[in-house]
Amino acid sequence: MNKKQRAPIVIVRFVVLLGYLLMVLAPFYWLFITSLKPKLDILTTNIQYWPKHITFDNYIYLFETSNFHIFFKNSIILSLATGLFGTCLAVLGGYAMARFKFRGHKLVIYGLLLTQLIPGVLVLVPTIIMYSKLGLTNTMGGLILFYTVGTIPFSLILMRSFFDRIPMDLEEAALIDGCNKMQSLFKIILPLMLPGVIATFIFAFVGAWNDLLGAVMIISSDSLKTIPVGLNMFIHNYDIDWGVMTAGGIAATVPSLIMFAFMQRFVVNGLTDGAVKG
């Protein structure tokens, strides 16, 4: 394609990108300046678009008084573990779906699509009752299991489409070279699919990072709570502690921002490989 674009298109693109950035950032800007305001300046009819009295009290309170660092640590462990398990299961299953002919192949795919139709709210309570009978409530393992199960269907669908994009010839060549099937999977195929693997990982990670309801229902001890639950504790029945909650909200986006910055190249490229096949 020609390197130079026509000027009007460049301008339109610039305007679109800028507009979109503003649209995305505006609510974040609002959260951010709120987190820097003292309580008296937060909810006023005389709206301050830049804090008149900048304070870091909300952040200090967040980390010193409210145990937020524990929630932070838990969320990181939880999301990493969910991402890891979800991706492992998806690699195995996706490989099977893409590479083998077997009876029930269609059933498997329709089954996975079908799970997406199940409203989470509906199955939450029976799930919790089941978890408590199995002794899985109030354990980090139980919570990891909960999110891993939730992420399996979409991860499998995604992973299968990545496998589909890798030509069979590659694998066959490896087999001829004397690798067995597993060696070819781990040594040849997976490295090629790294972007796809990372994309799947991020989907699972973000799912566990954001969810509130599952974590509230499964975890009771403060030492095991996650960020969304921690943030929710600043909503009291008569009052929302906006300053601290927004400080927490801003702090919680930092890991995602870092992860996106480092990995979005892989996400986009990864999905590039997979997306064509859906």
Partner 1 sequence: MKYVRKNEPYILLFPSFFLLFIFLAYPLLSSIMYAFQSFKLTAPNAIGFNGIENFKAVLTDNNFPLIMKNTLIWVVLTVGAQFILGLILALSLSRPFPLRNVYQAFVFLPWAVSSFVIGLTFRWLFNTEYGPVNDILLKLGIIHEKIYFLSDPKMALYSVIIAMAWTGIPFFAIMLLAAMQSIPHEIYEAAEIDGAGIISRFWHVTFSYIKQTILITLLLRTIWVFSSAELIYIMTTGGPANSSNTLASYMFMKAFASLDYGQAAAIGLFFMVLLLLFAFIFLRLTKFEKAGNL
Partner 2 sequence: MNKRMFGLLAISTALLVTSACSNGGSGGSGKKIEISFTDVAPSPERKKFFNEIIAEFEKENTNIKVKLETVPWDQAFAKLTAQGQSKTMPDVVNVYPSWLTTFVPAGYLEPITEQYDAWDKKDNLAAFVKNVTIEKQQREPFNDVYIIPDGLMGEALFIRTDWMKEANLELPKTWDELFNATEKLTDPAKNRYGFSYRGARSGFDQIFAYIFSVTKGESYEPDGTSVLLRPEALTAFKRYTDIYKKGWAPKDSINWGYQEMVQGFTSGVSGMLSQTTEVVATAQASMKDGTWTVIPTPPAADGNSYGGAGASWGYSISKNSKNKEAAWKFIEFISKPESNNKYSKVMTLIPIMQDSLKDPELGQGPMKGFIDMLNDPKRIPGADMGKFPELGEFRESIMDAEVQKYLLGTQSAEDTMKHLGDFLTKGMQKFMKENPDYKVPHAANYKG
Q: What residues make contact with partner 2 under the rule CB under 8 A?
A: 39-40, 43-45, 61, 65-67, 81, 85, 88-89, 92, 125, 128-129, 132-133, 135-142, 144-145, 148, 180-183, 212-213, 216-217, 220-222, 224, 229, 232-233, 235-240
Q: How far apart are the first and last CA of the chain?
A: 26
Select 101 or 133, whichever has its Cβ closest to partner 2.
Answer: 133
Please list, in sequence order, all residues whose beta carbon lies within 8 angstroms of the beta carbon of residue 12, skipping any fewer than 6 positions away. Answer: none
- Tokens describing residue 40: 């008296």
Least distance in angstroms from the C-beta of 170 to partner 2 = 19
CA-to-CA distance for 7 and 11, rounded, in angstroms? 6
Select 224 or 271, whichever has its Cβ closest to partner 1.
Answer: 271
Say whether 152 sits in a helix, a strand or coil. helix
Least distance in angstroms from the C-beta of 13 to partner 2 = 39
Are the beta carbons of 227 and 209 closer than 8 angstroms? yes
Among partner 1, partner 2, none, the one that 253 touches (CB under a kind-dependent 5 to 8 A) is: partner 1
Select 72 or 273, whichever has its Cβ closest to partner 2.
Answer: 72
Are the beta carbons of 270 and 196 closer than 8 angstroms? yes
**How is 158-212 classified by DSSP, letter by letter?**
HHHHHHHHS-HHHHHHHHHTT--HHHIIIIIIHHHTHHHHHHHHHHHHHHHHH--
Among partner 2, partner 1, none, the one that 256 touches (CB under a kind-dependent 5 to 8 A) is: partner 1
Select 77 or 275, whichever has its Cβ closest to partner 1.
Answer: 275
Least distance in angstroms from the C-beta of 186 to partner 2 = 8
Please list, in sequence order, all residues whose beta carbon lies within 8 angstroms of the beta carbon of residue 112, skipping any fewer than 6 positions away. Answer: 153, 156, 157
- Tokens describing residue 64: 């010193």
Please report how many Cα atoms fall inside a 13 Å half-sphere around the Cα of residue 151, on the Cβ side.
35
Least distance in angstroms from the C-beta of 56 to partner 1 = 20
Q: Looking at beta carbons, which pairs linking 173-181 to residues 24 or more positions away fall under 8 Å?
A: none
Among partner 2, partner 1, none, the one that 233 touches (CB under a kind-dependent 5 to 8 A) is: partner 2
Least distance in angstroms from the C-beta of 123 to partner 2 = 12
Among partner 2, partner 1, none, the one that 190 touches (CB under a kind-dependent 5 to 8 A) is: none
Select 4 or 133, whichever has its Cβ closest to partner 2.
Answer: 133
Among partner 2, partner 1, none, the one that 264 touches (CB under a kind-dependent 5 to 8 A) is: partner 1
Least distance in angstroms from the C-beta of 55 to partner 2 = 14
Among partner 1, partner 2, none, the one that 113 touches (CB under a kind-dependent 5 to 8 A) is: partner 1
CA-to-CA distance for 163 and 103, rounded, in angstroms? 19
Least distance in angstroms from the C-beta of 221 to partner 1 = 20
Select 3 or 178, whichever has its Cβ closest to partner 1.
Answer: 3
Cβ atoms within 10 A of the Cβ of 193, count?
Answer: 24
Among partner 2, partner 1, none, the one that 221 touches (CB under a kind-dependent 5 to 8 A) is: partner 2
